[in-house]
Each structure stands twice: as structure tokens, then as C-alpha cells.
Chains A and B, each alone.
Chain A
Amino acid sequence: MILTAKGLYKSYQESGDAKKVDVLKDFQMELDKGQTLAIMGPSGCGKSTLISILGGLDRPDQGRVEIAGQNIYELSTNDLTDFRAKNIGIVFQQFHLLPHLKAVDNVRLPLDLQGIDQAKERALQALDSVGLADRANHFPHQMSRGECQRTAIARVLVMQPQLILADEPTGSLDRKTADEVMDLFFNKLKESHISLVLVTHDEEVARLCERRLDL
């Protein structure tokens, strides 16, 4: 299994409000290498919280998360950061590209942060693999939303992670663009045997995944 989540509990208590909100209650799941899983549910059901926990961004109140056999919450903060950088990729609804960096620089950013050699070459390769080789020197504001999301996908793929977490990746795209981007995305995942946990409201996108989980 590439991802195992067992007995996850997470609740929040708003300041000044005595009532505790249970977001996750004894959640568990497993994901094999190369598998894709769609998580669906109404707003406020805990989808983003789950992604945060699975990505090592938010510690659960109880439970464990194992990725590639490693219980990520046994790691120190610095080790967890390193682990996430190398093994987990995150795709956002709003792309979150840096506006002052060209596409190639945005894609190589994780490599630069980790001090990995040949960052530019690898970034260009990643861009090429998503069909944006000719947009390498363009800024985000010079690209369409679909191109921006593809750039964000290239940024994730360049690190060759074991697991990708995608939070509403088509939420900012129109239907046609969403279909194009997702087709590309899933092809890349299949090629690289990368596992995917995808949070979405979009039934069409959910259908692309092998499994589905409703919260």
C-alpha cells in the first residue's frame, strides 16, 4: 500500500464557541501504488481537512497516516517537511503559481527548494510533458487558466512523488478545459504509476478515478 490512513479523528473548536465540531471521526482508507481515488462530499464535510492530514499539513487528533510505509506523524517537523517535498505533491484549485516567476521557474521551484541539480532541464522536461514547452518563458498572467493548471501539474510531477493530493483541481476551469486538463493529468499519472487522492464536486472528474469515497 502506498497510503494507509487508520482511525483518523479531527475536530475543531472555534474560539469563543463552546461547541466542538467533529470533522473526521474514525476515518480510514488504503490506497495502492498507482491507484486513483476520488473523495466526494458536501461542503464542510471535511474534504480539505482530510487532504491536509494526508499531506502532513495538519496533525490529526488521533490516528495514523502511513505513506510508503512511513508513519508520517512519527517524523519530526523538519523530516516531515522533507518527506512531503520528496514524496507528496499537491495540486490546488487556485493553481497558486507565483506571479513573478515564469512557467519554467514556477515548475523548478520545488527542485530549487530541495537543492536538486539540473533543475531547469527537469522543469523544461516536465513542461514539455504537459504540452507547455513553448510557454516556458511566460508569466502566469500571460497564460490561460488551463495552461496555469497544467503548469501547476508539471510542478508537482517534476519531483516524481509517490502520491499526489489534488484539491478541486478543476474548480476554477470551464468544462472543456477541465476535461482536457484532467485527461492529460490522468495519463501522466498512469505513465508514472503515481497514486492520486482527488477531492472534487465534479462527477465527471470523479468518474475518471478507479475508486470513489463519499464523506
Chain B
Amino acid sequence: MKRGFLGFSLSLLPIALKDIVFSKRDILASLAVLSLGLTALLLSFGFKESIESYIDANARRALTADIRVTRTQDFSSELLAEIEENLSWDQRQAEIEFLANIRPLDGESSLLVSVHAVGKDFPILGEIELESGTAFAEVIEKNTLAVHPEVRDLLGLSPGDKILLGNLELSLKDVVQSDPGIIGFGAGFTPRIYIPYDQALKTGLIQFGSQVQFHRYYTLRDPSRVTEEVKRLVSLQRQEGSSTLSFSIRSADRALANIEQGLGFFQNLLSLLSLTIAVFSFMIGFYLVQIFAQARAQQWALYLIFGARPAQVQWLGWLQSGLLLLSSWVLAGLASFFLLGWIQASGAGFLPTEFNLQLGAQSLLSGLVVALVAASLFHLPTALKLAKMRAKDLLEQDNPSLPELRPWSRVWPYLLASLSFFALTTYLFKNYLVALLFAGVLILNALMALSLVPWMFRWAARSLEEKPSWSMVRLAFLSLSRARFVTTLCFMALLKAGFIVGFIPHLYENAVLKELATPDPSELPDYFLINIPEQETARLEEFLKAHQAELRHLSPFILGRLLSINGEPSDQDIFRRFPTRVSYRGQLIESERVIQGPELPAKHDPERSPIPLVSVEAQYARRSGMKIGDILEFEISGFRIQGLIANLRQVSWNSFQPNFFIQFQQGVLEDFPKTFIAVVYGSQPQVSADLQPHGPSLAYLIHQNFPNLSLINVSQAFSRLAEVTRSLGPPLQVLSLATVGSAFFLVLALIFHNLLQRRDERSLLDLLGASRSKLRKIFSWEYLSLGGFALSLGLITGTAGSYFVGHRYLQADFPWTPSLLGVAVAALLMVFLGLLVAVRSSCEP
């Protein structure tokens, strides 16, 4: 009776399953290894999908419109007409946004808030929900305001309380329960308040040159055309002599750019680590499947003799490989589901609001595709061998084995696997170069393992030939002098583990911790002041002196727009969306230093340099594609100003000093409208680290006497920042440890399996007189030498890599010495490896 593949598969499925169950030790090892790799990949896929879903679902909502146009001055009717003529808009809204301190009329505390003056119909997209359930439109009336919960909690307010905002007295009407505009990382350091649009001017806080932003929001008739609409506005923005020069554009698709960037960093790190785990687990899984297949040669020959077609036997082989990978995929799915939930729960500090980390259908499907492709690739060498298999081998050999392949036939399955891996890496990183780099590093590792390692141990064995007391060690080295698959895999896995152990602690200790190290409290200012009107600076200094406080580093703050770099229009997203903040100073302050180029002369001398000189912060310059010698052109208050980059600076941002990305010399920008920023060092006792409002403190007095400026409590701000960054620490540490642990686990699984495979070798040594202790010595020396060399090499290259990253990208002086933590972890791994191998190898051969 002829049957199709389905009929054949169904009849042989029980046999295939029984075979798998019977070989449970090998299968369990394969399942464990492959599940680990697939779990790592599913985590990465899940995170990627969650980011994409979050951005898709929230981008438009976060902006509350499709396009937002912003100016630091109010829009004239002519300008608005020009903009709206070039936009296919559907609805529009206006908003004024600025920072200010508010205080209760009857209280003695104040708080820096972000004021949003809006109309009744704000926002266009989404809805601001209030705690009382009242419609937002009803609340935005004359002399009333709605606040975010933090404002109520920090100032101890209740509905009906009177609030002073600049010159304006307002009544608290309601508290905001949900606000689409703050999706992302929460309210940040300045919680929001909403006041009626027409009340903004009455506060007296909106002055020419102050940090006010006038927004116009637009939804489009066809939201899918946002890119084209933005392009039209950008070309309008660049027109020569047009009054449209001075506005910035933000579109919904880029509304969550910062979040996407931040999450993208974590996503890339997760992808890197998960790919590392995956590649080794798949390599080891491949090895185990080949062993499994090799042991099935007899079966397959029997099937051929009893009437199975060669294609049917091939299918059976693939079916077994497929069942294995499918089971691993199921286990990986379950593990990933729980792990993502754990990351979500423990990473709440660094994940944005309403971010839902989950394993979606797309991720599961991607994982399934990987599993099926892997199953095919795993089976491919066996398939080639099966095609050459002769059923009569059962008659000629007691234990038939799969025939050997020719060299080219052996290589091309690995080529296909490499291509598949390259495709997977490109999918995860969306970058061919990263994929090439990753693949290149792996190939380099493999070449080292196949050439350097055997050569090295061959030389070492030769050097021990005349030393009988080192015979066991010599035997171990001779074993390592053969380029075997297992040795290669162990070396690569431990090299990678060593690299991670060398790289991450070194980088973390020297970059992240240093950047975030809590400075000496006595060095931190008490307050950071912004929006200081130019005419108030002298009075402010006197006031502070009278209160035993000191105003330091009073720095001008000027808003402009970067138009071009070396004459080429600057079309980078960040310059389109935000004004550029520039300053000028005669000398550097203690939180900055020049790292490339000469110091700027304090004052601009047109005879010496026709174009004024500027100093740019090094990281900012690198991100923006600027370098020494570039000519920047700005638009400031309608005038075009050029600056020649003369040096690059390194800034210590966590010093909370008035620092700027771009600084001119003196004598260039003095006549432009500006406000000032500065820091205050005072006799403030016990600056509170929590977010409690202060009593009748210097902050309150400053606000009472200078209502127009805004004040940030530095220690509060710093502890919030540290809290967010600290929350990033545990997941990063766990991921790194998980990668190292996984690599180690994989290596152990491989070694133990290999020791089992080498039982004939051990039996022979035993027969020839090797005692248990000698056997232990041989195998321990073998794996410890390999592991020690791989881990040390990895540690050194990891430290060097960290040094390179620090020097090249962070302009930091990293020490050459490896991290003590890294060395300790590597040593611990070695000891653990040695103990386990010693125990395992002294078991009955």
C-alpha cells in the first residue's frame, strides 16, 4: 500500500518519539542547551517587539498631535499663515510652556514646575483625565489651574487652595489623573500644571529671551503623510530671508525618539548578549545532534532494508531534529514569558510609563522560524551523509556508521549556518556592519581555536618530552594539540566569557560609576537657578550675599538654531526639533577641561580671527558630526552668527554646574537677548535628599524676592537621577552574569558529554596503568589549560576593549589594569571548572 509522507510520518512518529525518550540523557542535554539559546533569543525578540509596539501605540499620543511647531517668541499672524498654508492640517491647538516656581499663597514652600498654558480643547489627541471626573475643558477657566499629583503632594495642596505663579494668583481646581503628554519617563524633575492660555502673559514670567516655548499643534488630514508634511515645513524653515526661519518642528514619529534611543541601547546590549549565548548553545546543540545522528546509522540502514525510501529516512531524521528544536522552543517560550515579567517588575525604574514588556505573537513566530531553520541546519550534514549511506553496510559492518563527507560537502552546511546567523544578527541590530563585526569576531575566535591553540599546546607538549614527571600534563597537551570540534567550542565559549568578564566590570567601574559617582556633597551646589533676568543679576548677588550665600558661575543662556555646519544645512533631527543653547565665557569653570585643541582666548579679536571661536563638548561634537575646524552657523534672534570650532571639551555633567555644549568667546553674543543661569552655594542646612518641600528656606526667600527665576534643588534632582540609573544596574548585571553563567554552563555540558564520549580512551588509559588520580590529572590539566588560556586571553582583550571604548568614545582616562571583579570572577570560574572536571573524570570509565 503506497502512502504519502503524512501517512509515513504518522506511522513512524511513535518510533521517532520512542527513540528520543529512550536517549533521554543525550536529549535532555540537547534540550537544556537549545532551550537556553532560544530563551536568550526570545527575550531579545520580545524586547524588540515591545519597544516597537510601545512606540507605535504612543508616539502620536505622546505628542498629542501629528506635528508640533515651536518658537521661543509668539507666532505672528503672517508666520502662522505661512506655516498653515504649507500644511494639510485638520485640527490645531496652541500652548505656551515655561518653567516657573509656584508657591501656595498661605504656605512657605515653593516648587519648580513646568507650566502649560492651554485652551479648553487641549489636547487634540488623547485626553487629560482629572481625579474628580470633571471634563478638562471645564477646569481650564479664568484663574483656575489643574496640577499633577506630585505638585499637590509636595506642596500639600487641596482643591480651592490659592497658588501664586509670578504675578498671578490662581485657584487649584483639580488634579490630573492621566496625561497623554507625559508618556515616557514620567513627569521628570518638573511636574506639570495647566493654566488657561490667556493667563500666561499675566504671570509676568514670559519675557523676551526667557525660556518660554510657544507651541502650535496640528493633526493632519492624512496622518500617514507626516513625513512629507514635515519635509515641506523644513524647506520653508530654510528659506533665505523668510520670517519662517526661527521655528523648530517636531513630528509624532519622532516624539518618543529619546525613549526609543534609550531603550534601543538596552535592546542592543540584550541582543549582543543573547546572540552570544545563542551562538554557543546552537553550536553545542549542533554537536550533540551530530552525535545523536551518528548513533542512528544502524537504524536508518535498517529502515532502508525494510523498505523505507531514502527520502522517507531523510524526513525521519529531520523530524527528530525538528521535534527537538520545537520542544526547546516551547520551553524557551515559557521561560521567556516569566523572565520578561521579572525584568518588567524589577526594571520599573528605567522603563518608561505604560511600557509593557511582553512576548508577543511576532516574537514567538520569529523564535519558531529560528528553531525550524536551526533544525534544518542541524540535520543538513546528516542528510548529506544519509544520501551516501548504503543499506548493505549493515551486512558489512557490525556497527555501521554514517559515511564521511568530502571536504566541500563538510564545509557548506557551516557556510549556510553562518549566513543564517548573519541574517539573524542583522534582523536584531538592523545594521549590516554590526552583524559583520559580530560574525567577524566569531570567525576570528574560531580561527584562533583551530590554529593558535593546537600550535601552542603542541609546542608545550614538545617542551615536556624529556620531563617524565610531567608526563600526565604532556598527555593533556597532546590531546589539546588536535583541533577538535569540542576543544574549539570550549575555547570560543570561555574566550567570550572572559571577554565579558573583562569588559563590562572595567567599563562599568570606570565610566558609568565615575559618571554617576555621588560627588562630595560639599562640592555640590545647593540650588541651580535658571531664567535669571539680566536686569536682576546684580540684585540677586546682593541678596544672596546678605543671606550668607554665594552666587557662582553666572552664565548667559542664549537660544538659537544651528543652521549649517561648514555651509551644509543641518538636517539632523535634534537640530530640527530643538533650539540650540549657547553661551559665552572668558575662562573655563572647574567642571570642564579642554581635551583637544588650544584654550580659547578670553575675548574675540576680529583681527586675529575673523570668525569667532567656539568650544564644543566632545561627546556632543561626536554625536553631531562636528570636529575642530568646522564652521557652525547659527540663527540667533533673527541674526546669523558663525563660530569656528577651536577646541573640544570634556564636561563633568554630574557636577551640576552651569555647563554648555557650545560656548563662544566673550565679545560676540553680549548684545543678544538672554537670561542667565547660575548655582548657589549657601548656608543651607541639611538639604533633604527626598522630595519633600522645604520650609522657610533660602529657596523660598529667593522665590519670594525673585518670582521670575526658576530654582532647582540639586540634591533632590541628583537623587532622582541616581535612582533611575541605579534601577538600570540590576538588569544589566543580571544579564552580564547570565551570559557568563550560560557560557560556563554550556562549556560544562560540553565537557561532561565529551568525557562520556571519550570513555574508550579512558578505558584504554586505565588498562595501560593510569590510576584514577592520573586520569584526573590528565583531564583536569587538559580542560584547565584550555580554560585558563581562553579566560585569560578573554580578560585581557575585554579590558583592552573597554580601554579603547573609554579612550575613543568617552574621552576618559581608563586604567590599563583589569577590573578586580573581573579577575575574581575569572579565577572563580577556573576553580569551579577544575573541580568539576576532576570529579567527573575520576568516575568509572
- On A, residues with C-beta under 8 Å from B are 48, 51-52, 55, 57-58, 78, 81-82, 84-86, 90, 92-94, 96, 98-101, 105, 109-110, 112-116, 167
Contacts and interface: CB of A to CB of B under 8 A. Distances in A.
Interface in B326-345: none
B520 interface: no
B734 interface: no
A82 B306 CA distance: 9
13 contacts: A52-B395, A78-B309, A93-B398, A96-B298, A96-B394, A98-B299, A100-B21, A110-B306, A113-B307, A115-B1, A115-B7, A115-B11, A167-B395
Contacts of A92: 394-395
Contacts of B307: 81-82, 84-86, 110, 113-114
B304 interface: yes
Interface in B1-58: 1-3, 7-8, 11-12, 15, 18-19, 21-23
B302 interface: yes
B11 A58 contact: no
Given A57-B305, A90-B395, A115-B3, 14 more contacts: A52-B395, A55-B305, A57-B390, A58-B390, A58-B392, A81-B307, A84-B305, A98-B15, A98-B19, A98-B302, A99-B22, A105-B18, A109-B306, A115-B11
Contacts of A85: 306-307
Contacts of B396: 48, 52
Nearest to B306: A110
A52 B397 CA distance: 13
A36 B303 CA distance: 26
A51 B393 CA distance: 12
Contact of A81 (B12, B298, B309, B390): B309
A132 to B, nearest CB: 19
A100 B19 contact: yes
Contacts of B1: 114-116
Interface string B281-312: 00000000000000000110011111111000
Given A57-B390, A81-B307, A109-B306, A101 B395 contact: no
A48 B395 contact: yes
Contacts of B394: 92, 96
B391 interface: yes
Interface in B173-229: none
A58 B391 CA distance: 9
Nearest to A78: B309
Most chain B beta-carbon contacts within 10 A, residue among A57, A85, A116 = A57
Nearest to B17: A100
Contacts of A114: 1, 307
Nearest to B1: A115
Contacts of A82: 307
Interface size class of B (residues with CB under 8 A): 20 to 34
Contacts, number: 76
Nearest to B308: A113
Interface of B: 1-3, 7-8, 11-12, 15, 18-19, 21-23, 298-299, 302-309, 390-392, 394-396, 398-399
A112 B11 contact: yes
Contacts of A78: 309
Given A57-B305, A101-B15, A94 B390 contact: no
Given A81-B309, A115-B8, A57 B395 contact: yes
Given A57-B391, A57-B392, A115-B7, A81 B304 contact: yes
A14 to B, nearest CB: 14
Contacts of B309: 78, 81
A57 B23 CA distance: 30
Most chain B beta-carbon contacts within 10 A, residue among A82, A90, A93, A100 = A100
A110 B712 CA distance: 84
A55 B394 CA distance: 12
B418 to A, nearest CB: 31
Contacts of A110: 306-307
A85 B390 CA distance: 16
Contacts of A55: 305, 392
Contacts of B21: 100
A100 B18 contact: yes
Given A105-B15, A113-B308, A51 B303 contact: no
A13 B473 CA distance: 44
B299 to A, nearest CB: 6
Contact of B12 (A86, A93, A112): A112
A25 to B, nearest CB: 20
A96 B531 CA distance: 90
A189 to B, nearest CB: 19
Contact of A94 (B12, B15, B22, B398): B398
B16 to A, nearest CB: 10
Most chain A beta-carbon contacts within 10 A, residue among B22, B306, B391, B394 = B306
Contacts of B3: 115
A84 B22 CA distance: 29
A100 B19 CA distance: 5
A99 B295 CA distance: 11
Contacts of B302: 96, 98, 109
A113 B396 CA distance: 23
Contacts of A105: 15, 18
A7 B464 CA distance: 63
B395 A51 contact: yes
B15 A52 contact: no
Most chain B beta-carbon contacts within 10 A, residue among A82, A85, A112 = A112
Contacts of A116: 1
Contacts of A86: 307
A94 to B, nearest CB: 5
A62 B490 CA distance: 52
Nearest 10 CB-CB pairs, A to B?
A: A85-B307, A100-B22, A57-B392, A52-B392, A110-B306, A115-B3, A100-B19, A115-B1, A113-B307, A112-B11
Nearest to A88: B305
Most chain A beta-carbon contacts within 10 A, residue among B15, B398, B399 = B15
Contacts of B2: 115
B306 A100 contact: no
B301 to A, nearest CB: 8
A19 B19 CA distance: 43
A78 B390 CA distance: 14
Contacts of A48: 392, 395-396
A63 B581 CA distance: 95
B302 to A, nearest CB: 6
B136 to A, nearest CB: 70
Contacts of B299: 98
A86 B18 CA distance: 26
Contacts of B305: 55, 57, 84, 90
Contacts of B392: 48, 52, 55, 57-58
Nearest to A102: B18
